[in-house]
Chain A
C-alpha cells in the first residue's frame, strides 16, 4: 500500500529530500518510438547539453594544456613573466570549506537530534522555517552583512580575543588579526551559516526515516532517548548523514560572492588562522573581466574553473549516491 511521500520542504534554498516513491510505471504504451515522442524528449536533454557545453567551453578556454608552474603557489599574472600557480586558491577553498562543513555538520546534527527527539512536533515545525530561511537569503546579502556588521565585530572583539589567548598554538601566532575582520574566521562563519540549512534538513530527514519500531524497541530495552539516538538511529541513518556532509561541503566549496566579499582577496597563503587569502570561486569571479586582455590569464582561470567544477561534481554525485544507493531512484527537491 503506497504512501504519499512528504512534499518538498517549503521555503529555503533546497527542498526537503525524501526517499523516492515507488518506481514509476512508464506511461508510454507500446506504440514504438514516434517522431512526436522524440520531439517531446528534447527538453529533457537540455541539462545534459548544458553540462556538455560547459565542459567543452572550459576545456577549449584552457587550451588543454597546463601552464607551467600550475601547481605552485606563485600567482603573479601581471609581471613580465607571469606566473599562474593556483596553489593558494585550492588551499583557500579547502581551508574555508572544510571547517565550515565541520561546524555545519556538528550544529546540524545537534539541531536535527534536538528537533526530532527532544522537541514536540509542533514546536519543531515552528522552528524549521527559520532554518530554511537561512538558505533563502541571497549570498550577496550575507556578504554585505558579514562585511559591515560581523566583520568589525570579529576584527575588534573575537579575533583579538582568540589571538591573545591562543597565540601559543601553532597557526594562531604571528601577525595580529586585521581590524576589518576580513579573513578566514569571517568566511568560515558565513559558509557555516550557508551550509547549515542543507545539513540540518538532510540529517533531520535521515533521522525521521528511522522506523518507529527500531526506536521503540530501543526505548523498551531501557535506553534513554540519547542512547537510542546514538546507538541505533544515527548508525541507521549513517548514509543520510554522510550525504548531508558531502552536499553541504559542495555548497560551501562553490560559494562565490559572500566569500569574495569577506576573504580579503589576497593571493597568498594566510599567515595564520586569522589571515586573508583567496578561494577558487572568488578569484574567478573577481578577475575574469580584467583577465580578458591576456589569453594565458584566461587559460589559467579556465583551468581553475575546471578543477572547481570537477571537485563540485564529484562531491555532489557522491553525496547523492549515498542517499539513493545505485538504483535509479531520486530524492525529491534536494
Chain B
C-alpha cells in the first residue's frame, strides 16, 4: 500500500492529506519500520549462508568420490561405511515409523471416539516435544540393556523410529481429518464401507500430505545424534546383522568434534556434515514440491 500525497479537490478531509507533524511522523515511522523489519530476514538467512559456505569450504577441497564410496575399515578418510550405516538406520526406522505412524494416524482420525482421539493426539504431541536425549536415555535402558539387544543397529533404529513416529502420526491424522467433508459424506452416503472409504477415496486425497510428513520425519531423523549415539557403538564395517555395531554420519561429526582440530577425523567430520546438509536440503525441496502439488490438487477438489 503506497501513500498518495497529491491532493484531490474531493478528498480534502482525507487523513491522507493531513499534513500535521504528528501524522507525518506516523507515516514516516510506518515507512521506516517497513524497511527495517524485513531486514530481520537477514538474521535467518545470513547464518544459513554462513554455515553452508563454511561447511563447504572445509569439506569440498578434499572431497573425492573415493571418500564418499570407500569402505576400507581402517581408512580415516572414507565415508562409505557411515553412509551405509545411516542408510540402514533410516531404512529400518522409516519403515517402522511409517507403519506405526500411518496406521496410527488413520485409526485416530477414523476409528477412535473423539475423547480417545484427543487423548491419543495429546500423547503424540507429548512425544514430539520430548527432548531427544530422553528418548535416547529410554532407548538405552530398554532396548540396549533390558531387552538385551546391545549397542547395535536395531537398538539405534528402533530408538530413532520412536522419535520419528509421532511426526508421521500427526501428519497422517491431520491428513485424514482434513479430507473435505462433502467427499466423505458422499462416499459414506453412497454405501461405501469405512475400509473402502479409507483405502479408495481418502488415501489418494491425503497422500501428498502424508508424503510431506514422511519426508519431514526423514529429514529430522537423518540429523539426529543423541538418541542413536547412546544406543549404538562404532563399527568399522558396514553393519552385517541387526546386532552389529554401526557408524553413521552424525556420529562422525560428533567424534570429529570430540577429537579436536588436530585429528584426521576433523576434515572427515566436515565432509559428513556437508553430505548431511545436502540430504536435508534435498528432502526439504522434495517436501516443498509435494506440498505445492497438494495445494493444486486440493484446489481442484473444490470446483
Interface residues of A (CB under 8 A from B): 2-13, 15, 20-29, 37, 40-48, 50-51, 53-54, 57-58, 61, 107, 110-111, 113-115, 117-119, 127, 129-134, 136-145, 147-149, 193, 196-197, 200, 219, 222, 224-227, 247, 250, 253-257, 261, 281, 284-285, 288-289, 301-302, 305, 308-309, 312-313, 315-317, 320, 328, 330, 332-333
Contact = CB atoms under 8 A, between A and B. Distances in A.
Contact of A47 (B124, B136, B261): B124
A288 B127 contact: no
A51 B121 CA distance: 12
Given A138-B224, A225-B34, A257-B254, 18 more contacts: A4-B299, A12-B284, A25-B185, A42-B107, A48-B120, A50-B162, A51-B126, A57-B138, A115-B38, A118-B38, A136-B280, A138-B253, A145-B55, A224-B26, A254-B134, A285-B133, A308-B134, A316-B126
20 contacts: A8-B216, A15-B212, A27-B198, A41-B111, A43-B101, A44-B103, A54-B138, A61-B141, A114-B34, A131-B41, A142-B51, A226-B29, A254-B130, A254-B133, A284-B133, A284-B134, A285-B136, A289-B230, A312-B129, A313-B126
B222 A53 contact: no
A254 B125 CA distance: 15
Contacts, number: 337
A140 B134 contact: no
A133 B133 contact: no
A10 B288 contact: yes
Contacts of B194: 27-29
Interface string B238-277: 0000000000001001101100010000000110010011
Those 4 A-B pairs whose CB atoms lie nearest each other, nearest first: A138-B223, A254-B131, A114-B37, A316-B129
A15 B216 contact: yes
A263 B134 CA distance: 19
Q: For the complex, would chain B's binding face be called helix, strand, loop or mixed by DSSP majority?
A: helix
Contact of B176 (A10, A24, A117, A315): A24
A149 B54 CA distance: 8
Contact of A141 (B122, B174, B277): B277
Given A225-B1, A309-B134, A333-B171, A137 B223 contact: yes
B219 A140 contact: no
B45 interface: yes
A37 B111 contact: yes
B165 interface: yes
Given A136-B219, A309-B134, A312-B130, A27 B276 contact: no
Best-surrounded residue of B111, B120, B131, B171 (most CB of chain A within 10 A): B131
A47 B173 CA distance: 13
A22 B178 CA distance: 7
Contacts of A24: 109-110, 176-177, 179, 181, 184
Given A10-B212, A145-B55, A41 B123 contact: no
Nearest to A28: B194
